[in-house]
């Protein structure tokens, strides 16, 4: 599995700067002012840094950018990275600078002369998020990720903040690993096993097998998995860091390890991308990991429905009617609209068992959300303005795109079935909304709920500032912040 990069903190000491190998990074303000570390570096390289700054080397740079000088004379380092930051840098500028340092580092260790820069952990987070590569299945050419050494005047004050930062990065990296993993490796059983391993972090993890799911009446979930040789599972992960007895926040994830579409088979082109159809469950898992690592003072329960959607002689057919755990019956029109069938049972189970203070589900649910919002925003659906606005604020603060979509009775009507309580699809128009309406039928009155359709944001075809192309880990940062801002005890 991929490793989060090592971030260490040492005492700021300009005397040893000339001997630093790898890459040396120093701070220059957008106006071109050299901070103490940069001034020392400038002396060692006989004024080359000042000449670059004065010679318009930073002309096009803005706060958060990095400009590099290669093979600077007078330094042992291979490169001098000039980090453009004002004295009072924002979180965004610091994260962006960290990500850029990581992106240009290659495999070299970066020693960052932070001096007395405040909130340097934000820069470390940007660095850690960007240093990711999924190379587990390459026999050669696996990338070595760069490490970050932060030279700071008060190293001891940074420890706690850096640990929190690394908890976030580790959660994001776990989500990315799970989403990147091919379906022959990340089978339903392997997925559950990886979640059970998180018991070591203090999470309480239970795996419900097919017999138990049958007993609970989760027929819609089981019907999706019945065409696969891999057994369906529901995994429950509890983090009880809050006040004993306080209702938890429930995070529910779609974990379809591979979505062929079933009997309503998908076209061959691009089907390989459906290894990411467990992205919702992957995000729930990564978030639970982060919460445990940073010992969040909140009660949060993560529940994931893990299945594989395959065509076989035993698979569900269009026209079949199945009964959900809630008791409502569903006419299957299209076996490729399987995510909602998995989620509706897990949502119902989550509410029956935990009486949660709120429910947030995440799912790579519809192709239609990609048509509507592209890869820049997840679709946000909610029955409650308060929890919804809290989430949108958390997502905005973390730079994770999220856009609210409507719900309403007119959309819900599209799910009417002539022979059962509802159909599993509502037609092509507003496909993401009718999918959300389907889910809302399984939310009890008065339970604040958010549905996040992450089909467009869970995996991207070109790199972003904070992730190489592929799985992004979208949502871990926003959910962790939401928990911190709204659910953690003072």
Tell me whether residue 123 or residue 307 sits nearer to ligand BES (CB atom): 307
Say which DSSP state 37 is in. H
Residue choice 35, 81, 177, 259 for contact with Mn ion (CB under 5 A): 259
The residues, any chain, with a CB within 8 Å of residue 39's CB and separated by 6 or more, are none
From candidates 284, 315, 368, 378, binder to ligand BES by CB under 6 A: 368
10 Å CB burial of residue 348 (0-12, 13-18, 19+) is buried
Q: Which stretch binds Mn ion (CB under 5 A): 133-141, 154-162, 215-223, 254-262?
A: 254-262
Task: Identify the active-site residue in 266, 297, 323, 444.
Answer: 266
Q: Is residue 457 a contact point for ligand BES (CB under 6 A)?
A: no
User: DSSP per residue over 82-131, as a string?
Assistant: EEE--TT--HHHHHHHHHHHHHHHTTS-EEEEEET-TTHHHHHHHHHHH-
A 10 A CB-CB count for 56 gives 9
Dihedral sign for Cα 174, 177, 183, 185, please: negative
Distance CA 73, CA 77 (A): 9
- Based on the shown chain and the rule CB under 5 A, indicate whether residue 308 belongs to the binding site for Mn ion: no
Burial label, 404 (beta-carbon count in 10 A; 0-12, 13-18, 19+)? middle
Indicate which single residue of 72, 242, 280, 339 sits in contact with Zn ion (rule: CB under 5 A).
339
Q: Which does 367 bind (CB under 5 to 8 A by kind): Zn ion, Mn ion, ligand BES, none?
A: ligand BES
Query: Residues binding ligand BES: what is the number (CB under 6 A)?
Result: 14
Q: Is 35 in the site for Zn ion (CB under 5 A)?
A: no
Cα–Cα distance measured from residue 118 to residue 158, given in angstroms and rounded to the nearest whole number: 9
The residue with its CB nearest to ligand BES is 367
* Residue 23 falls in the annotated catalytic set: no
Residues binding Mn ion: what is the number (CB under 5 A)? 3
Pick one of 177, 336, 345, 361: the residue that binds Mn ion (CB under 5 A): 336
Stretch that binds Zn ion, among 187-195, 196-204, 337-345, 382-390 (CB under 5 A): 337-345
* Sequence-separated (6 or more) residues with CB below 8 Å from residue 130: 98, 99, 100, 102, 103, 465, 466, 467, 468
**Which of ligand BES, Mn ion, Zn ion, none does residue 368 bind (CB under 5 to 8 Å by kind)?**
ligand BES
Annotated catalytic sites, by residue?
Answer: 266, 340
Task: Catalog residues that contact ligand BES under the rule CB under 6 A.
Answer: 259, 277, 334, 336-339, 364, 366-368, 425, 431, 455
């Amino acid at each position: 599995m991929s490793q989060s990069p090592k971030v260490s903190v040492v005492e700021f000491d300009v005397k040893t700067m000339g001997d630093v190998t790898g890459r040396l990074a120093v701070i220059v303000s957008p106006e071109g002012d050299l901070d103490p570390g940069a001034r020392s570096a400038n002396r060692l390289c006989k004024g080359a840094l000042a000449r670059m700054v004065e010679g318009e080397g930073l002309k096009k740079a803005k706060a958060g950018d990095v400009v590099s000088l290669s093979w600077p004379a007078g330094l042992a380092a291979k490169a001098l990275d000039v980090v453009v930051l004002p004295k009072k840098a924002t979180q965004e500028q610091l994260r962006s600078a960290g990500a850029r340092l990581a992106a240009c580092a290659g495999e070299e260790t970066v020693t960052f002369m932070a001096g007395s820069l405040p909130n340097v952990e934000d820069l470390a987070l940007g660095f850690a998020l960007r240093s990711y590569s999924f190379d587990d299945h390459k026999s050669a050419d696996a990338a070595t990720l760069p490490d970050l050494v932060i030279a700071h005047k008060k190293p001891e004050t940074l420890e706690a903040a850096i640990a929190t930062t690394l908890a976030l990065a580790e959660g994001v990296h776990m989500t990315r690993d799970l989403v990147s993993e091919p379906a022959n490796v990340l089978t339903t059983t392997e997925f559950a096993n990886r979640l059970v391993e998180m018991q070591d972090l203090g999470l309480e993890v239970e795996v419900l097998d097919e017999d138990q799911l049958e007993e609970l009446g989760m027929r819609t979930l089981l019907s999706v998995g019945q065409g696969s040789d891999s057994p369906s599972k529901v995994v429950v992960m509890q983090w009880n860091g809050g006040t004993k007895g306080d209702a938890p926040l429930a995070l529910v994830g779609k974990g379809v390890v591979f979505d062929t579409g079933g009997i309503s088979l998908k076209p061959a082109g691009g089907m390989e991308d459906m290894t990411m159809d467990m992205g919702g469950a992957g995000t729930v898992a990564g978030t639970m990991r982060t919460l445990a690592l940073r010992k969040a003072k909140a009660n949060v329960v993560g529940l994931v429905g893990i299945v594989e959607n395959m065509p076989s002689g035993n698979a569900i057919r269009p026209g079949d009617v199945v009964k959900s755990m809630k008791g409502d019956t569903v006419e299957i029109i299209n076996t490729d609209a399987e995510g909602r069938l998995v989620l509706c049972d897990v949502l119902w189970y989550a509410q029956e068992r935990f009486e949660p203070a709120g429910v947030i589900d995440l799912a790579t649910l519809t192709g239609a959300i990609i048509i509507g919002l592209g890869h820049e925003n997840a679709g946000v659906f909610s029955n409650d303005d308060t929890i919804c606005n809290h989430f949108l604020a958390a997502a905005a603060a973390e730079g994770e795109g999220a856009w609210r979509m409507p719900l309403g009775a007119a959309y819900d009507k599209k799910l009417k079935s002539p022979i059962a309580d509802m159909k599993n699809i509502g037609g092509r128009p507003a496909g993401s909304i009718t999918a959300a309406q389907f889910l809302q039928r399984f939310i009890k009155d008065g339970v604040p709920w958010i549905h996040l359709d992450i089909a467009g944001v869970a995996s991207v075809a070109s790199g972003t500032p904070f992730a190489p192309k592929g799985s992004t880990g979208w949502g871990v940062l926003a959910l962790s912040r939401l928990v911190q801002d709204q659910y953690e005890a003072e």
